[in-house]
Structure 1
Amino acid sequence: MKQSTIPHFGLYGESSWINDPEFFHIEDIEYRSSDLGWKITPHRHAQLFQILILKSGEVKVQLDEKQHKLQGAWAIIVPAGVVHGFRFAPDTDGRVISIAEPLLEETHQEKATSFIKPLLSQPCYIDFNGHRNLFSELWPLIQQLESESTRIREGRALMSEYLIKAILILLYRQFRHDSNNTTNKTETSHAHQLKELIEAHYREHWTSHQYADALSISTSRLNRLSKTTFNQSVLDLIHDRVLLEAKRSLIYTARSVEEISYDLGFKDPGYFSRFFKRSAGVPPGKFRVLSNQPSI
């Protein structure tokens, strides 16, 4: 049965949140998933950022309503709030790292921010299959982090924090290698700040002008930046984020269309339905019926 809201977990299947701003957790994919038939059903985390490092094997990944099949060496980035599910092939080898968001937010005040922050805003896949040399640098850091998590030693928390940052920087290097983004550092910073602002205010239906004011740049410049970086206008990004949350609620919860519309900041459910049909091509009720099919 669908639940009234999308399941939020601390770790998968554990509803209680570990209230520790320095919390991190690392575990073997097999340990968590083998007893569940190698399947992790769709869910999301409110305050945990996750990295899945796949060393070998195969996985079908569901991030929100999109699905991908990956084989070999990959990193999968899952920011907090993203609905995700996995079906692993038996004997898949890899690790899942869960990190409390406050631990990562501290890096925003450090030199590491330009390397780590771009990975925090949206889910992505990082391919290491053609870059085994870089993966051979990454995997020992994963193993060292795993070792730190199981032993009580002086400086354990600090060592773990440094290892997490090193892992994220290596992931960023490969992420940048795969990216065709040619914008300069200032534009890249503004682009990621825009994404973060939309995430914080999409339910308030901020206008493009309000986002531009928050970033202290003109609306026209922000739109040019958005189209260069994301191939979409600011308004398109805003609408896409509202639509994504609407789809999440329709697929993964049993809440009524009216409840969903109010939750997303619409004062009139009729206007929400028209917005959804214009954006998705079908009314919300029909979308829910069409999406009522087995997840991976």
Structure 2
Amino acid sequence: MMINSIPHFSLYGESNWIDDPDFFHIEAIESRSSHLDWKIKAHRHAQLFQILILKSGSANIQMDEQQQHLLGSWAIIVPTGVVHSFQFAPDTDGRVITIAVPVIDRIGKEAEQFIKPLLNQPGYIPFNGQQSMLGELWSLIEQLEKELQYSREGRGLMCHYLINAILLQLRRQQRLSGEQHAIMSTQDRQMQALKNLIEQHYKEHWSSDQYAQALGSSISRLNRASKAVLQQSIHDLIHGRLLLEAKRQLLYTSQSIEEIAYNLGFKDPAYFSRFFKKNTGYPPGRFRAASQQPIQ
């Protein structure tokens, strides 16, 4: 049967939708992937954030267009909406933590400046050679698993504390590995707000002026901040998000080019084709024909 859209799962392989603002889940990697030949096909989650902790083993990973091979101990950050697939080596040891977006959104202001940078984009955090840090993280994971096994007083509150502690521990290691600065500047915060708005409105084809007005800024000031922090103009960010979604739809669905164009807010499929070719060098049909998913 042809797939008409990128699969959205609550948890991989489960069709029932989870509509619980307090939802979170933890499971061993092997519990879901071992009976699937250790292979998780391309899918995404609309309202769930995931963290994979590899304690040992290896994995071939694809998140959107980026591929990565990881060996040993790693944390893998999978934000909502990111198309991802995994091929684990047999007997890979690790955990998958799945958290509803409202749980993430309720992180207190005191922790927000530390944790939010961790959540905004796909990433890989190395723990090889950092056994002490991995041990601290793993003890929190084991405690979270124990809390979920028994109905004890304050279990939900304790689990939320442990999730925050896990996120903070990951953020510490991310900082130590040199991936990002620990505290977001005013410009960083503004750029994150801009990216959030683009995520909400890119299919509506908002103009740069609309984004600037929504953020209470002028186009020139917002553009300067965007180029300083993200090395891209507002225009480039908007087009980049549209292009990313177009590539996702072309790679992972059987929708026609016309359907994809309309889904992305283009009133004229021919204009969508010109837009895609201008930004990639290929018309959409040729891009789809030439592209192959390395992980099936």
Query: Structure 1: which 5+ runs fail to align?
Result: none
TM-superposed deviation, 1:170? 1.3
For 2:128, give the aligned amino acid.
N
8 Å CA contact retained: 2:52, 2:77: yes
8 Å CA contact retained: 2:251, 2:293: no
The equivalent of 1:157 in structure 2 is: 156
CA–CA separation in structure 2 for the residues paired with 1:213 and 1:88: 46
Query: 3-state SS of the aligned residue for 2:7?
Result: coil
The equivalent of 2:171 in structure 1 is: 172
Structure 1 stretch displaced more, 262-271 or 143-152? 143-152
Query: 3-state SS of the aligned residue for 1:240?
Result: helix
TM-superposed deviation, 1:121? 2.2
Query: 3-state SS of the aligned residue for 1:55?
Result: strand
- Correspondence list, 1:241-256, <5 A: 241-256=241-256
For 1:69, give the aligned amino acid.
H
CA deviation digits over 1:75-106, x for unaligned, max 9?
Answer: 11111111110000111111000011111111
Query: 3-state SS of the aligned residue for 2:217?
Result: coil
Query: Measured at CA, do residues 180 and 99 of structure 1 come closer, stay the same or move farther in structure 2, by a change above 3 Å?
Result: closer
8 Å CA contact retained: 1:121, 1:196: no
The equivalent of 1:262 in structure 2 is: 262
The equivalent of 2:130 in structure 1 is: 131
RMSD: 1.7
Query: Measured at CA, do residues 243 and 233 of structure 1 come closer, stay the same or move farther in structure 2, by a change above 3 Å?
Result: same
8 Å CA contact retained: 1:181, 1:229: no
8 Å CA contact retained: 1:2, 1:252: no
The answer to whether 1:196 aligns with 2:199 is no
Query: Structure 2: which 5+ runs fail to align?
Result: none
CA deviation digits over 1:191-244, x for unaligned, max 9?
Answer: 211111111111111122222222222222222222222222221111111011
For 1:63, give the aligned amino acid.
M
- Correspondence list, 1:191-230, <5 A: 191-230=191-230
TM-superposed deviation, 1:184? 5.5
8 Å CA contact retained: 2:83, 2:248: yes
For 1:148, give the aligned amino acid.
E
Aligned length: 295
The answer to whether 1:88 aligns with 2:93 is no
8 Å CA contact retained: 2:114, 2:183: no
TM-superposed deviation, 1:294? 4.8
Query: 3-state SS of the aligned residue for 1:266?
Result: coil
CA–CA separation in structure 1 for the residues paired with 2:275 and 2:171: 36
Query: 3-state SS of the aligned residue for 1:112?
Result: helix
8 Å CA contact retained: 1:148, 1:156: yes
Query: 3-state SS of the aligned residue for 1:49?
Result: strand
- Correspondence list, 1:5-24, <5 A: 5-24=5-24
TM-superposed deviation, 1:58? 0.5
Structure 1 stretch displaced more, 282-291 or 119-128? 119-128
Question: Percent identity between the aligned chains?
Answer: 61
8 Å CA contact retained: 1:6, 1:44: yes
Structure 1 stretch displaced more, 113-122 or 239-248? 113-122
For 1:102, give the aligned amino acid.
P
The equivalent of 2:113 in structure 1 is: 114
8 Å CA contact retained: 1:63, 1:84: yes
